[in-house]
């Protein structure tokens, strides 16, 4: 009778990915609540400014094409 040595099973790709992801998230330097609020405000302000600029450019180009194409 032979005794087979039992090897520990290696985790499949999904298990390994999940374990590595959790490990990485533990090492993340998370912002404080006040930092997160400040950064969120900055992002919202920049979004509104970018939206206003892009909306203005869209309206300008629309009028230019109307004038050029004579509609």
> Higher model confidence: residue 34 or residue 6?
34
pLDDT score for 70: 83
What is the pTM for the complete model shown?
A: 0.60
pLDDT tens digits for range 7-30: 667 768 899 999 999 999 999 999
pLDDT score for 51: 98
Q: Is pLDDT above 70 for 1?
A: no
Give percent of the chain above pLDDT 70.
Answer: 87
Any idea where the domains of the chain sit in the sequence? 31-71
Q: Is 20 exposed, middle or buried (0-12, 13-18, 19+ CB in 10 A)?
A: exposed
């Amino acid at each position: 009778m032979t005794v087979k040595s039992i090897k520990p099973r290696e985790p499949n790709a999904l298990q390994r990915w999940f374990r590595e992801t959790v490990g990485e998230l533990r090492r993340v330097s998370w912002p404080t609540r006040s930092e997160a609020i400040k950064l969120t405000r900055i992002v919202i302000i920049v979004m509104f400014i970018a939206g206003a600029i892009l909306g203005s450019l869209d309206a300008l180009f629309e009028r230019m094409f109307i004038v050029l194409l004579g509609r």
